[in-house]
Amino acid sequence: MNEFVLALGWFGLYAPVALGAIGSAWGCALGGSAAIGAMLDSDGGYGRFIGASLMPSSQVIYGIVIMFTLQRETMSAEAGAAMFGIGVLAGFALMYTGIRQGEVLASAIHASKAKPEIFGVSLAPAAVLEGFSVFALVFALVLAGSIPT
């Protein structure tokens, strides 16, 4: 039983990076596809479309920070269970916000190619989703401090 919980702990340790990377890749692909399409319909401003499409890449960075915070020299069954819960839940939050941020950015890019003056305002929903990722990061960091050593 302890071996199973320890295995879950190791899974939880790396889950924020893996799930954050999935969310980042998926979100950047959604935003990048919209940016490429917008370049066909626009005469300039390509850099802002590409720059906006990269916003979901932060989720994998947050996952790396969580992973390094969860690392322990030795892992007990209690720590493994805590690491699994924190890592998996934070990882799913990062994955979900990365994907949804990519969808919001794709919409923002599509809208701003027709009305370039709304580009900045159209990024506000993506910034709110970024805030939720930061909340998940902070929550994981606070909980990681309470894991028994």
The answer as to whether 29 is a domain residue is yes
Domain residue limits at 121: 2-144
The answer as to whether 21 is a domain residue is yes
Q: Is the pLDDT of residue 148 over 90?
A: no
What local confidence, expressed as pLDDT, does residue 70 receive? 93
Q: How many domains does the chain have?
A: 1
Owner of token pair 């819960």 = 85
The answer as to whether 149 is a domain residue is no
User: Looking at residue 54, what DSSP letter applies?
Assistant: T
The answer as to whether 64 is a domain residue is yes
The answer as to whether 123 is a domain residue is yes
What is the pTM for the complete model shown? 0.92
The answer as to whether 18 is a domain residue is yes
* Cα 132 from Cα 127, distance rounded (Å): 9
What local confidence, expressed as pLDDT, does residue 97 receive? 98
Q: How confident is the model at residue 2 (pLDDT cuts 50, 70, 90)?
A: confident
* Cα 74 from Cα 80, distance rounded (Å): 10
Residues of the chain above pLDDT 70, percent: 99
The answer as to whether 68 is a domain residue is yes
Q: Is the pLDDT of residue 114 over 80?
A: yes
What local confidence, expressed as pLDDT, does residue 11 receive? 95
Average pLDDT over residues 79-103: 96
CB 26 within 8 A of CB 98: yes
For residue 100, the surrounding DSSP H or E stretch is: helix 77-114
CATH number at residue 65: 1.20.120.610
Residue 90 corresponds to which tokens in the numbers above? 């934070």
